Structure 1
Amino acid sequence: MSQPPLTPDRLDPKQAALAAFSGYFIWGLSPIFYKFLAFANPSEIVLQRVVWSAPILFALLYVSRRLGPALSVLNDRKTLIVLVCTALLIGANWWVYIFSVNSGRVLEASLGYYINPLMNVAVGLFVAKERFSLLRAIAIGLAVLGVINQIVTVGHLPVFALIMAGTFTAYGYVRKTIQVDARVGLFWETLIMAIPSLFVLTVFEIQGGAQAGHFFDGPHYAILLMMTGPMTVLPLLLFLTGARGLSFAIIGVLQFVAPTLQFIVGLMYGEPFSLAYLATFIFIWLGLAVFVFELLHFERKQKRAGIRPA
């Protein structure tokens, strides 16, 4: 079957893979950037991230001539309600991630992103009633064993990892209930959060003390806080651009680039990593290996049947 013609929104496979990989690469090294923001508390960082992302996304919609579809969302009450819910979920995810990074828990943050694909599989099986396979059940079982090992041998539940995986999985699942372009949806999610964020940041700047804002403390602080916008939008844009030209199997493999780099960054910063903790990761990695094998096997079956992957 012939390939569809390439368009500005659909790159050839090599360019698409490079774009998606670049997005995951930036996400993977993002803990290094957020370490430079340790002068601010996680709440201020998330608020600044939202405020500076909104105008960038508006500009992208304007350039790509998608302001019309974006404004049409205002006429759809159900879609707006769903976007409010997804805004809260992604905001919570960002907060936990930044708190984990700046409290020396980058390894746990990476664990959360490793768990996320397997949690998606679990939601697909038990909530969305998607096709059940033995390999998918094994992948989920190995992830569960990893969490149990973390509780029994390491001595604590990986709370931040589970919250990150849970909020992002819920975000993706709820987001699928509405037919909205990814960039349009993200614009409204950030705008929904940006309006109250501006108010809270103003309060931070006025009240001083432990909750003081840092934007006006000097150009160094202001530039770092403003950079949270591009650091949010750029990798997402690269991923969205690349995803249009790749199969689900390739995306499924590439999504492990980010947590792997985060894992390496965590080790570079000297975070404690015992053999018991390693066993948790081994269970998760084995589960992911089974998941990727099943994904690639399913794609090969589709190709043999003459079905072109999305």
Structure 2
Amino acid sequence: MSQLPPPVSDRLDPKQAALAAFSGYFIWGLSPIFYKFLAFANPTEIVLQRVVWSAPILLAILYLSRRLGPALAVLNDRKTLLLLVCTSLLIGANWWVYIFSVNSGHVLEASLGYYINPLMNVAVGVFVAHERFSKLRAIAIGLAVLGVINQIVTVGHLPILALFMAGSFTAYGYVRKTIQVDARVGLFWETLIMAIPSIVVLTVFEIQGGEQAGHFFNGPSEAFLLMMTGPMTVVPLLLFLSGARGLSFAIIGVLQFVAPTLQFIVGLAYGEPFSLAYLATFIFIWSGLAVFVVELLHFERQQKRAGKRPA
């Protein structure tokens, strides 16, 4: 009887993993520029087209990576399907608000939301999941809260878009962790769950015509841009997933600030208003993130030292 060949690891070496993850965050960071070109369509149409064109790409990826079997097995697990319906609604809402923010001239607030997201993850981990608590984590959360308070008192408005993006993505990540499926399989089902009603809605828009009519049939340039929302969704995510498997949590924790930093720069480049009071909000958030990174790196060093000790 012949033996099966040993499994081949799909982990990249640390340098390749870091490059892949950085590339994913880099694309996410510059994505507002792409979505600005889609200003001819409203956020609802863009999100609907985004999931419609992402689903077949992910199906092809599952086929090539031999994950169709695990993907079909999800149909036999009602609880997993219900959770994926929940996560599809959360990520769909997050995408809608992000695109609305970009095309309504609020890229800076979008970047603020993704700066807040890691600190909101820490807060949920501490207060909901009862994860490790430390003074530095408390300081990081406190600085983020001060930033939001400054935005309300000094700038004069609650950063609703930023908080919604941070909150919806935090909730998405929290629920997603409870689903025991491959990340690619989960994303495929999330997009497919959204794609089926999306096709129906887009068809209704075309039949009704008028202001509700879609833009896919308006010309090749608009059709091409709408189709590109699929790769713009899937490619950075796959780069991140490929890189994350070969990186420590500390490195990922640092790299995740690449995207909002680039979004911040893009917002300034497009001439969005940025007062000193608004800058103070970012300084509070940035300070919280700096404390978070220091705590993360310190914890990883402790873990490495503990791992080197004899049992």
Q: What is the TM-score with the length of structure 2 in the denominator?
A: 0.96
Following superposition, the deviation at residue 269 of structure 1 comes to 0.1
Alignment of 1:167-182 (within 5 A): 167-182=168-183
Partner Cα distance (1:119, 1:211) in 2? 36
> Within 5 A, what are the aligned runs for 1:68-147?
68-147=69-148
Secondary structure of 1:305 counterpart: helix
**Alignment-mate amino acid for residue 23 of structure 1:** G
Show the 5 A alignment for 1:198-237: 198-237=199-238
**1:264 counterpart residue number:** 265
Aligned to 2:59: 58
- Paired amino acid for 1:261: L
* One-letter code aligned to 2:49: Q
- Matching of residues 189-204 of structure 1 within 5 Å: 189-204=190-205
Contact 1:54/1:187 (8 A) holds in 2: yes
Residue segments in structure 2 that go unaligned for 5+ positions in a row: 1-5
Flag as ranges the 4+ runs of structure 1 deviating above 6 A: none
- Equivalent residue letter for 1:243: A
CA distance in 2, matches of 1:131, 1:247: 17
1:128 deviates by 0.1
In structure 1, the residue matched to 2:3 is: none
RMSD: 1.3
CA distance in 2, matches of 1:6, 1:303: 27
CA distance in 2, matches of 1:117, 1:173: 12
Which has the larger displacement, 203-212 or 36-45? 203-212
Write the distance in 2 (CA, Å) between the matches of 1:106 and 1:35.
Answer: 10
Shift of the 109–69 alpha-carbon distance from structure 1 to 2, 3 Å rule, reads: same
Q: Deviation at 1:9? A: 1.7
- The aligned counterpart of 1:34 is 35
Look up the equivalent residue of 1:292 and give its one-letter code. V
SS in 1 for 2:307: coil
Paired letter, 2:267: G
Q: Distance in 2 between matches of 1:6 and 1:288?
A: 39
TM-score with structure 1 length normalisation?
0.97
CA distance in 1, matches of 2:271, 2:252: 30
Secondary structure at 1:306 match in 2? helix
What CA distance in whole angstroms lies between the structure 2 residues aligned with 1:206 and 1:105? 32
Structure 1 pair 55–17 and aligned structure 2 pair: CA distance change class (3 A)? same
The offset of 1:53, in angstroms, is: 0.1
1:211 to partner: Cα distance: 1.5
Q: CA deviation at 1:131?
A: 1.1
How far did 1:306 drift?
A: 1.2
2 CA distance for matches of 1:272 and 1:290? 28
Distance in 2 between the 1:114 and 1:163 partners?
12
Cα deviation digits, residues 243-266 of structure 1 (max 9, x gap): 000000000000000000000000
Name the CA distance, whole Å, in 1 between partners of 2:93 and 2:174. Answer: 16
CA deviation vs aligned residue, 1:160-179 (integer Å, no higher than 9, x gap)? 00000000000000011121
Please give the per-residue CA displacement for 1:40-76, whole angstroms capped at 9, x wherever unaligned: 0000000000000000000000000000000000000
Give the letter for the 1:207 counterpart: Q
Task: Spell out, residue by residue over 1:81-116, the C-alpha distance to the aligned partner (whole angstroms, 9 max, x if none).
Answer: 000000000000000000000000000000000000
By how many angstroms is 1:14 displaced?
0.0
Q: Which moved more, 1:176-185 or 1:5-14?
A: 5-14
Equivalence for 1:12: 13
Q: Which residue of 2 aligns with 1:284?
A: 285
Q: Is residue 6–residue 12 contact of structure 1 (8 Å, CA) maintained in 2? A: no
Give 1:307 deviation, angstroms. Answer: 6.7
- Give the unaligned 5+ runs of structure 1: none
Structure 2 distance, partners of 1:9, 1:140, is 36
Q: How big is the shift at 1:8?
A: 4.8
Please give the alpha-carbon distance, in whole angstroms, between the structure 1 residues aligned to 2:7 and 2:256. Answer: 24
1:180 is paired with a residue whose SS is coil
Shift in Å, 1:6: 10
* Equivalence for 2:248: 247
In structure 2, relative to structure 1, the CA distance for the partners of 1:7 and 1:247 (3 Å cut) is farther
- How far has the Cα of 1:234 moved from its partner? 0.1
